[in-house]
Structure 1
Amino acid sequence: MTTTGEVHRAAAGGPWWWERRRSALFDGGLGVLSAAECAVEGVSFAHKAGLPAAVGVVFGVLAGATLVLRRQWPIAVVLVSVAITPAEMGVLMTVVALYSLAASEMPRRIIGALASMSFAGTLIVTVVRAQQDAARGVDAFQVGTWLVPFIAITTALGVTAPPLLLGMYVGARRRLMESLQERNESLERELSLLAERAEERAEWARGEERTRIAREMHDVVAHRVSLMVVHAAALQAVARKDPEKAVKNAALVGDMGRQALTELREMLGVLRSGEAVPQRVPEVPLQAVGVAAAAAASRAEAEAEGDGGPSLAELEELLGQSRAAGMVVEMSVEGDVVVYAAVVEQTAYRVVQEALTNVHKHAAGAKTYVRLAHRGAEVAMQVENEPPPVPAAASVGLPSGGNGLVGMKERVAGLGGVFVSGPTDAGGFRVSAVLPAQGVGRLAG
């Protein structure tokens, strides 16, 4: 890991710790210049220290060449520059090392401590050299007491402050750019995720819409066609024996067919015109789309359908159609009659309708009981049939797609209700549903 705040990538192509070859060449060039400067200054240092010039050159080359490590170990380079400051070597190395340190991600206290050491070393060396120069030239001119400190402080500040401030600016700018880039990448990921979730929600909504349309088509067609088949069977049985009854049954079959076609035309017309309000997809995580999401979708579906669907007030007409087909149906109502929200009225009607359709299909001729209970906070309905007469059950032969009970359960569960179905102990079949009352308003009068 580097200390300069740069993100090095393995595929960048640079040797060792450098991100790019250009950076490696640049640092190598700086190292050569620093080594040459320190080598030249090393000759003067060796002369003052009484050492061979070759020793000073080698020492200067080794010390100056450490500038190559400025990106990887800026602290070490600064410490070397501070160490060779008393030898009056490495001005270029000091400037570049302080810049690299300030531009790195080192804690500010470490940068401040090392910069203070470099400033102090430069200040001391400058004071000593200025005093020596003043002592040698004392006969030529008179030096004020203020000049030496002024020169020393100015020189020390000039060597340490500019590279330090520039490095801090470059480091802050680099970190800002990296932060902006990370934020941009994060926003791109979020947008991509939102787009994927939107597509998934749209696909889920399309699936729910297909299911709703299929359920509506089933409810509309199955009941009417079942009654038509029952009347057709009765018409075939009495055509020769009772022509008057046969004519009546034929008229009923025609009425049923016309009603079925009318409802289908209305539904298909709405689909073609696009007047129906699309289902509102709940804003929840996709993994949470379950019963709650189905309930929200069913509520939105009912709000879209408005008052165009059937209601509980039409149950008597529905039962009358089954009675006309020969079914014995008794209905009882408990509690005060109330008006529910359109979704509740339509769902309750469809449950009773589909239950009667199943009786026509699987228990033709069986006596059926329809019970409706208004309980204030909820409405309950139950359709129960007795065991069918064996000849009647064998003669009808209506096909079953197996979707009736599933559709009823989906409707009821979508509103947060309870649906139960199953055979009775007496050999019949019972369908029960309880729906929560929504938008209840007591009938006037």
Structure 2
Amino acid sequence: MTTTGAHQEAAGTPDRAWLWWGRRRSVALDVGLGALSALECGLEGVGFAEKAALPVPFGVLFGLLVGAVLVVRRRWPIAVVLVSIATTPAEIGFLLGVVGLYTLAASEVPRRIIALLAGTQLAATFIVTFVDVRQGVDTAEFDPGPWYVPLMAVLVSLGLTAPPVLFGLYIGARRRLMESLRERADSLEQELSLLADRAEERAQWARQEERTRIAREMHDVVAHRVSLMVVHAAALQAVALKDPQKAVKNAALVGDMGRQALTELREMLGVLRSGEDVLAARPGGAAASAAVASAAVAAEAPAPLAAVGAAAAAAAAAAAADDGPCLADIEVLVGQSRQTGLVVELSVHGEARGYAPEVEQTAFRVVQEALTNVHKHAAGARVTVRLAHRDAEVAMQVENGAPDVSGGAADAGLPSGGNGLVGMRERVTALGGVFVSGPTDAGGFRVSAVLPAVGVGEGAA
């Protein structure tokens, strides 16, 4: 089937396709043109029958059949033009020839075929017109000159051939341009839809990452302080009647722990409320990954999604600020655990130096959560905290022995949500480090982590 540009018109709403027509309007137009062409050819068939000495009904029937061919111009434009060329010597089918050439030029038929058929139609029309004008001049009483006959033949043949071909070429090119623009618009719409979906996914990811980070920070801050408070409260209950001075000391420690927990919670909530005022975030860690994703969302997403991404980025940036916990605070952390009666040994290897804030904060949180787990699950066990400063990394290890049940240490009954080890692993792997945890052969538990030693300047770059 030859595909023509005529049945790719964009105006109107397409109806149910019938045969090769895409719309009812196209059917009505072609049937109307076919009927008009058949009527014209039928009338011209009378003169053809008289010239050819044929019966008039035969000429009329022949003209009707020839004119009706115009109905199939969209499906077979080449056939319509060939019929027009074949009937040119009979001087039948003026409308057939003009509309057929227009349809052929506007179709997707190769240009060389259009040029060949249009040239043939031009030559046939020129010959027929030349003969008719020559016969008219021969019977006239005046001589118009030798130039009159060829000039009239050229003008008539060009007038019947050139305008429909040129107009058809213009309409075909315009239709193809409109189709190309429509396809491009559809493609752009699909791309925008994909970008919007991707931005929504990134915004959702950033929100989820931020919720995870907040939950991890809340767990680290609250779990350790509250664990120490519960241990001190248990000790206070045990010695309240036997040793009032020690009870007073434990009560003061509980108060200090509670105030520290409230202070850290206020600081965290303040960071979340004022996070939008933070201008830049350091890369690294879960907070930095959320900041990167949020920045991408803010760059690509619409305004509502960009606001969400910007808020997440600000909160992530504030979480990695320089005033967070650092490696220097580990000694204080160990001292707080010692105050509960836990035997903790701290050993530091290598020369301490400045690291990026996210590295120091992650190292502190790993040690903090490991000590919290000891308070929860290994009351009375001996604990060893090792910290090693190496050339390209900083390593930490918290190892406890088996719980000393015989020593009178009682389980404080602290609940466990099972998120401590998961949070530590997420923090360490987010910085490109290595995290290992598991029981020891002696019945204790060991937590080890190695973090890349990113300097302060590198971390801020």
Give the structure-1-normalised TM-score: 0.90
5 Å matches for 1:329-408?
329-391=344-406, 394-408=410-424
Give the whole-Å Cα distance in 2 for the aligned partners of 1:414 and 1:341.
14
| Structure 1 residue 81, shift from structure 2 partner | 0.8
User: Measured at CA, do residues 315 and 13 of structure 1 come closer, stay the same or move farther in structure 2, by a change above 3 Å?
Assistant: same
Q: Give the aligned partner of residue 445 of structure 2.
A: 429
The Cα offsets for residues 65-109 of structure 1, whole Å up to 9 and x where unpaired, read as 100111121111111111111211111111101111111122222
What percent of counterpart residues are identical? 69
Give the whole-Å Cα distance in 1 for the aligned partners of 2:29 and 2:257.
91
Give the whole-Å Cα distance in 1 for the aligned partners of 2:440 and 2:366.
18
Give the whole-Å Cα distance in 2 for the aligned partners of 1:199 and 1:276.
24
Give the whole-Å Cα distance in 2 for the aligned partners of 1:30 and 1:83.
20
Give the whole-Å Cα distance in 2 for the aligned partners of 1:416 and 1:148.
93
The Cα offsets for residues 144-194 of structure 1, whole Å up to 9 and x where unpaired, read as 222222111111111111111111111122222222222222222222222
- Listed as ranges, the gaps of 5+ residues in structure 2 are 279-289, 298-311
Q: The residue matched to 1:174 in structure 2 has which SS? A: helix
How many residue pairs are counted as aligned between the two chains? 428
Aligned CA RMSD, in angstroms, stands at 2.4
Give the whole-Å Cα distance in 2 for the aligned partners of 1:440 and 1:168.
70
Give the whole-Å Cα distance in 1 for the aligned partners of 2:154 and 2:239.
124
| Residue 90 of structure 1, aligned match among 90, 93, 110 | 93
Give the whole-Å Cα distance in 2 for the aligned partners of 1:89 and 1:441.
91
The Cα offsets for residues 91-135 of structure 1, whole Å up to 9 and x where unpaired, read as 111110111111112222222222112112111212222222222
**Paired residues of 2:271 and 2:319 also in contact (CA < 8 A):** no
Give the whole-Å Cα distance in 2 for the aligned partners of 1:240 and 1:100.
110
- Listed as ranges, the gaps of 5+ residues in structure 1 are 285-296
| Residue 26 of structure 2, aligned match among 23, 26, 51 | 23
Which amino acid is the alignment partner of residue 356 of structure 2?
A: A
User: Measured at CA, do residues 258 and 321 of structure 1 come closer, stay the same or move farther in structure 2, by a change above 3 Å?
Assistant: same
The Cα offsets for residues 237-264 of structure 1, whole Å up to 9 and x where unpaired, read as 2222222111111111110010001111
Q: Give the aligned partner of residue 232 of structure 2.
A: 231
User: Measured at CA, do residues 387 and 5 of structure 1 come closer, stay the same or move farther in structure 2, by a change above 3 Å?
Assistant: farther
Q: Does residue 192 of structure 1 match 2:193?
A: yes
Q: The residue matched to 2:417 in structure 1 has which SS? A: coil
Q: Give the aligned partner of residue 294 of structure 1.
A: none
Give the whole-Å Cα distance in 1 for the aligned partners of 2:405 and 2:51.
127
Q: Bigger CA drift: 245-254 or 144-153? A: 144-153
Give the whole-Å Cα distance in 2 for the aligned partners of 1:300 and 1:185.
38
Q: The residue matched to 1:352 in structure 2 has which SS? A: helix
User: Measured at CA, do residues 393 and 100 of structure 1 come closer, stay the same or move farther in structure 2, by a change above 3 Å?
Assistant: farther
Give the whole-Å Cα distance in 2 for the aligned partners of 1:233 and 1:88.
118
Q: Give the aligned partner of residue 132 of structure 2.
A: 129
Give the whole-Å Cα distance in 2 for the aligned partners of 1:393 and 1:16.
92
Give the whole-Å Cα distance in 1 for the aligned partners of 2:317 and 2:339.
30
Q: Give the aligned partner of residue 68 of structure 1.
A: 71
| Structure 1 residue 52, shift from structure 2 partner | 1.5
Give the structure-2-normalised TM-score: 0.87
5 Å matches for 1:34-433?
34-137=37-140, 140-275=141-276, 279-281=291-293, 283=296, 301=316, 305-391=320-406, 394-433=410-449
Give the whole-Å Cα distance in 1 for the aligned partners of 2:313 and 2:221.
18
Give the whole-Å Cα distance in 2 for the aligned partners of 1:151 and 1:381.
104
User: Measured at CA, do residues 123 and 40 of structure 1 come closer, stay the same or move farther in structure 2, by a change above 3 Å?
Assistant: same
Which amino acid is the alignment partner of residue 411 of structure 1?
A: R
Give the whole-Å Cα distance in 1 for the aligned partners of 2:275 and 2:153.
86
Give the whole-Å Cα distance in 2 for the aligned partners of 1:91 and 1:343.
87
**Paired residues of 2:46 and 2:60 also in contact (CA < 8 A):** yes
Q: The residue matched to 1:379 in structure 2 has which SS? A: strand
Give the whole-Å Cα distance in 1 for the aligned partners of 2:381 and 2:314.
35
**Paired residues of 2:275 and 2:317 also in contact (CA < 8 A):** no
Give the whole-Å Cα distance in 1 for the aligned partners of 2:395 and 2:147.
103
**Paired residues of 1:38 and 1:90 also in contact (CA < 8 A):** yes
| Structure 1 residue 270, shift from structure 2 partner | 2.6
Give the whole-Å Cα distance in 2 for the aligned partners of 1:360 and 1:109.
90
Q: Bigger CA drift: 97-106 or 237-246? A: 237-246
| Structure 1 residue 414, shift from structure 2 partner | 1.4
Which amino acid is the alignment partner of residue 25 of structure 2?
A: R
The Cα offsets for residues 256-314 of structure 1, whole Å up to 9 and x where unpaired, read as 01000111111122323444658341649xxxxxxxxxxxx999935653213111111
**Paired residues of 1:5 and 1:105 also in contact (CA < 8 A):** no
**Paired residues of 1:75 and 1:101 also in contact (CA < 8 A):** yes
